[in-house]
């Protein structure tokens, strides 16, 4: 997705995140934001090879685009699969006692990239299915108490919002592309 306007990732008229959807209500609005953040992650990683995706931000940080794909697959899995569905399953990039395996395991290898994207797409699909009929006010057990489904969705949105700034900076360091 190239831009004819300097400084913009994609011209606003061609931005696939501008769906023309006018969400109605809290749930639809929040879900639309999540879908746009997800699309931003995909857009910012497009056209990069395994080495570029695995490139670390700055030493000693393990932050990379590939690490963020893996991390967000874990985030989607944790909040939707574990918390909302109540399933006790390890995330796709989790190892007990190794909290940063999602970032540390992001290697400049095509197989690693494929596995990361496959896991992320599966986690997103499960989350979409899980949340489709969800009531935002439903309370679910979490961490010794309860949490509303609304809080789960807001937490996932917060994760994406925080990390999209990282994605912007990481992509700019790789090839200078900036913008939306």
Q: What is the pLDDT of residues 47-69, one digit of tens each?
A: 999 999 999 988 899 999 999 99
Give the residue carrying structure tokens 């489904």: 149
Token pair, residue 20, equals 């023309």
Q: For 101-132, how does the pLDDT look when each residue is reduced to its tens digit (9 = 90+)?
A: 999 999 999 999 999 999 999 999 999 999 89
At 25 the pLDDT is 87
In degrees rounded to 5, what are phi and psi of residue 56?
-80, 150
Mean pLDDT of 157-164: 96
At 176 the pLDDT is 86
Residues in CB range of 132: below 8 A, 6 or more apart = none
At 178 the pLDDT is 78
Average pLDDT over all residues of the chain = 89
List Cα–Cα distances, 171 to 13, 110, 121, 168, in angstroms: 22, 18, 21, 5
Q: pLDDT at residue 26 above 50? A: yes
Report the predicted TM-score, pTM, of the whole model to 2 decimal places. 0.89
| Helix (H) or strand (E) segment spanning residue 118 | helix 110-132
Whole-number percent of the chain with pLDDT over 70:
86
Q: pLDDT at residue 1 above 50? A: no
């Amino acid at each position: 997705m190239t831009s004819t306007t300097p400084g913009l990732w994609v011209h606003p008229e061609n931005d696939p995140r501008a769906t023309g959807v006018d969400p109605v209500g809290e749930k639809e609005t929040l879900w639309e934001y999540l879908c746009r953040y997800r699309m931003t992650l995909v857009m910012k990683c497009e056209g990069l090879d395994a080495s570029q995706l695995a490139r670390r931000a700055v030493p000693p940080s393990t932050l990379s685009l590939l690490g963020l794909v893996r991390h967000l697959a874990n985030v989607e899995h944790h909040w939707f699969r574990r918390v909302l569905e109540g399933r006790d399953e390890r995330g796709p990039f989790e190892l007990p006692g190794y909290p940063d395996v999602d970032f540390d395991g992001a290697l400049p290898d095509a197989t690693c990239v494929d596995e990361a994207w496959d896991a992320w797409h599966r986690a997103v699909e499960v989350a979409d299915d899980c949340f489709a009929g969800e009531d935002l006010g439903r309370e679910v057990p979490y961490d010794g108490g309860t949490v509303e489904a609304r809080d789960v969705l807001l937490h996932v949105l917060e994760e994406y919002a925080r990390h999209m700034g990282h994605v912007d900076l990481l992509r700019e360091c790789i090839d200078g592309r900036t913008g939306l």
